[in-house]
Amino acid sequence: LPQAKYKERGTVLAEDQLAQMSKQLDMFKTNLEEFASKHKQEIRKNPQFRVQFQDMCATIGVDPLASGKGFWSEMLGVGDFYYELGVQIIEVCLALKHRNGGLITLEELHQQVLKGRGKFAQDVSQDDLLRAIKKLKVLGNGFGIIPVGGTYLIQSVPAELNMDHTVVLQLAEKKGYVTVSEIRSSLKWETERAKQVLEHLLKEGMAWLDTQAAGEPQYWLPALFTELYSQEITPEEAKEAIP
Amino acid sequence: RFDNGILLLSTHRLIWRDQKNHECCIAVPLSQIVFIEEQAAGIGKSAKIVVHLHPASSNKEPGPFQSSKYSYIKLSFKEHGQIEFYRRLSEEITQRRWENMPAAQNVQVNKSPQVRRIRAVGIVGIERKLEEKRKETDKNISEAFEDLSKLMEKAKEMVELSKSIANKIKEKQGDITEDETIRFKSYLLSMGIANPVTRETYGSGTHYHMQLAKQLAGILQTPLEERGGIMSLTEVYCLVNRARGLELLSPEDLVNACKMLESLKLPLRLRIFDSGVMVIELQSHNEEEMVASALETVSEKGSLTADEFAKLVGMSVLLAKERLLLAEKMGHLCRDDSVEGLRFYPNLFMTQS
C-alpha cells in the first residue's frame, strides 16, 4: 500500500512543502537571473532604485544583505557593494576615532568615504552608508546610528550611550557645543544629571571642554566641527585604520 | 528671502507669491527658460526643480534682483508637489503656448520675433536631446520597477511558504530529518529570509557556514600569530574581505561562521567580552595569562591608559582596553575614571593585603 502522504485533515506535510520550496527556489533563481541581466546596472548606478529595492525587500520580509551567499547578493551584486562599503566605513571611523572619540556625522563620513573610494568609483549615497552600517552592528564593535537635527551621528566604538547621552548630543548638534545651563533650561534637568552626562562624553573623548569660553564652560563635540570636514586623513591615521 | 510661498504655473509665466505677504509676488516668463531638471529629495533636503534661464534682457521688468551671477533658479518643495509640478512645467515648456497667445497683461516684448527664433534653434536641439534622454531613463526605470514588483511578488510567495514550513516543523507535522532541516536553513539563507524557528537571521549554521569556518581557520592562523593571538571581529571582517576582493562575506556570514569554530574543533574560537566586543582568539591564546603580563607592564609604568598601553604593547586600542578591563574584573587593576580619561593602576588592595 502506498504510504499515506497526508494526515487525516488533508494538510500537506512539511517535507512535501520542502520539496515544493526547493522547486520554487530554482524557479525564483531563474527569474532573478533574468531580472539581473536586464537591470543589474540600474541597481549599481541608481541610488534611488537601490532605496526602492531595499524597501520592497523589507516589506516582504527579505534581507538581501544577510549573506554573501544569498541569491540577491550573488546575482545582483548588491552584497559586494555594501560589504565593501562596510570595510571603507570601518577604516574611516578607525582613522578618525582619536579626533572625535568615535562619533562622526553622516556627512563627514560620506565625504571621507567618497574621497577614499577615488574619482572613478561607483557613487554612494548617504542611504547606502546607513544600510551598510546597520549590517556592521552585528560585528559587536559598537556601531550605532543616532538621529540628531536633520541628520545622523554615527557611533563606532562600544561606548555605552543611553537616552540621556543621545538627547544631549541632539541638543549640542545645533551649535556644535552645549553648556550646563542650556541643558538645564531646555531639558529641565538638575545640574548633577547634566554634569554626569557631559563628563561621560568627555571621558569617551566625544566631547572637549572649553573652559576659556565667555560665561560658562562649553562642551564641544569634535564630530561637529565643520572646520575639520575637509581635513584629509593623515598617513599616521590611515595606518591606525589597518592594523 | 523667498522662503514660504505658493508657486503658480500659467501658460506664460512661473509665478511665486509669498504666503504671508500677499503683496509680494514675483514671476519669470516661461520664454526665459532654457531647460529644467529635477533634484531628488535626500536626508534633510527637500526635492527641487532647477530652472535654467536665458540671460536677462536689457529691458527686463524690475524685480528682486537686477542681475545675478547664476544662470538658474532653484525651486524647493518643502512639503510636496515637486513631481506633479515638474510634469506640468515640462508640458508647458514643450507646448510653448505663450508663443501663440499674446498675454492680456504687460508682457515684455523684448526682441523681434526673428532674433528670438535664431536663439531658440540651438537651444531647442539641446532641450530635445535632454528630453529624449530623460524619457529613455524614465522608461528604463519604470520598466525596472515593474519587473522588480513582479519579482517581489514571487519572493513574497517564498516567504509565505517558508513560514508555513517552519510552523509545521514546530508542531512536528511530518518527520523532518536533520539533513532536511539543514536544507531548509540553506534555502532561507539563499532567499535572505530570517529563520522563523529561531528568529535569528544569523546563527543558522548551514553547510556554507561550516565550510566558511574551516576556511577562516586557515586564513587567520598567521595574522593571529602576528597580532599576539587575538583580533577583533571588525579587523577580521576587513582583512578577509580585502583579501577576497570579490564575493565578499556579509558581517552575518562572518559571525555565523565564527560561532561554529569551537564546535568544529578548529584552532580558533570566538569570544565575546562583557562590552559586547567580539574577538577571534587562537585556541592556544590565553587572555587571562596575558592579563598577568599586562599587570607587570602597568606596574612598571605606575599607571596606564588604554591608549598608552596599546602603544607600548603594539595592540589596537580596542583590544588593549578590553585586556585592561578584564584585568580589572579579575581584581589585578583598579581604575581612576576622571575627565582626563580612564587610567588603570595596579590594585594595591589585592597585593598588599
Do A52 and A88 share a domain, yes or no?
A: no
CB contact under 8 A, A52 and B149: no
Q: Which of A57-66, B26-35, B162-171 has the highest mean pLDDT?
A: A57-66
pTM over 0.80: no
Do A49 and A120 share a domain, yes or no?
A: no
Share of chain B above pLDDT 90, in %: 33
Which of B141, B152, B180 is the closest to A18 by Cβ? Answer: B180
Average pLDDT over residues B213-227: 93
User: Helices in chain B by DSSP H: which ranges?
Assistant: 82-95, 97-100, 113-170, 178-191, 207-226, 233-244, 251-259, 287-301, 306-313, 317-329, 348-351
Do A28 and A101 share a domain, yes or no?
A: no
Do A61 and A88 share a domain, yes or no?
A: no
Report the residue of chain B nearest A73, measured CA to CA. B247
Return the pLDDT at B73.
Answer: 87
Q: How many domains, chain A?
A: 2
Helix (H) or strand (E) holding A164: helix A163-173
Cell of B327: 584585568
Tell me the ipTM for this assembly: 0.86
One-letter amino acid identity for B214?
Answer: K
How many CB contacts within 8 angstroms connect chain A with chain B?
215
- The string of pLDDT tens digits covering residues A147-171 is 988 889 999 999 888 999 999 999 9
Closest CA to B328 of B300, B353, B303, B301: B303
The Cα B29–Cα B250 span in angstroms is 54
A12 located within any domain: yes
Q: Name the more confident of A66 and B38.
A: A66
CB contact under 8 A, A63 and B201: yes
CB contact under 8 A, A68 and B44: no
Give the best residue of A125, A138, A198 to mutate against chain B (max B CB count within 10 A).
Answer: A138
Interchain contact A68–B (C-beta under 8 A): yes
A70 located within any domain: no
Do A55 and A104 share a domain, yes or no?
A: no
pLDDT of B298 higher than 90: yes
Interchain contact A121–B (C-beta under 8 A): no
pLDDT of B103 higher than 90: no
CB contact under 8 A, B191 and A70: yes
Which of B43, B140, B251 is the closest to A139 by Cβ? Answer: B251
pLDDT of A135 higher than 60: yes
Cell of B215: 576556511
Q: Closest Cα of chain B to A180: distance in Å?
A: 16
Do A55 and A92 share a domain, yes or no?
A: no
CB contact under 8 A, A62 and B191: yes
Which of A17, A73, A90 is the closest to B164 by Cβ? Answer: A17
Chain B residues with CB under 8 Å of A97 CB are 317
Give the best residue of B190, B226, B313 to mutate against chain A (max A CB count within 10 A).
Answer: B190
- How, if at all, do strands A208-210 and A151-156 pair? unpaired
Average pLDDT over residues B229-249: 93
Share of chain A above pLDDT 90, in %: 49
Do A59 and A93 share a domain, yes or no?
A: no
Return the pLDDT at A240.
Answer: 67
pLDDT of B338 higher than 90: no
CATH number of the domain within which A111 lies: 1.10.10.10
Print the domain residue range for A147.
84-241
Do A26 and A137 share a domain, yes or no?
A: no
Return the pLDDT at B300.
Answer: 93
A199 located within any domain: yes
Which residues of chain A from 131 to 190 reach within 8 Å of chain B, CB to CB? 135-142, 149-152, 157-158
- The string of pLDDT tens digits covering residues B45-84 is 788 888 888 877 766 777 777 777 778 888 888 777 777 7
Looking at residue A68, the DSSP 8-state letter turns out to be T
Do A88 and A171 share a domain, yes or no?
A: yes
A77 located within any domain: no
Q: Name the more confident of A1 and B97.
A: B97
Q: Look-up: residue for cell 561550516?
A: B210
Do A23 and A104 share a domain, yes or no?
A: no
Which of A39, A151, A203 is the closest to B337 by Cβ? Answer: A203
Do A61 and A125 share a domain, yes or no?
A: no
Q: Name the more confident of B174 and A165.
A: A165
Return the pLDDT at B109.
Answer: 43
The DSSP-derived string for A98-140 is HHHTTEEEHHHHHHHHHHHH-TTSPP--HHHHHHHHHHHGGGS
| Mean pLDDT (chain B, rounded) | 82
pLDDT of A37 higher than 70: yes
Residues 6+ apart with CB under 8 A from B192: A57, A62, A63, A64, A65, A66, A67, A70, A71, A72
Return the pLDDT at B112.
Answer: 39
CB contact under 8 A, B253 and A126: no
A38 located within any domain: yes
Among A99-108, A197-206, B337-346, name the one with the lowest average pLDDT: B337-346
Do A226 and A162 share a domain, yes or no?
A: yes
Return the pLDDT at A241.
Answer: 65
CB contact under 8 A, B162 and A21: yes
The band of B183, judged by pLDDT with boundaries at 50, 70 and 90, is confident
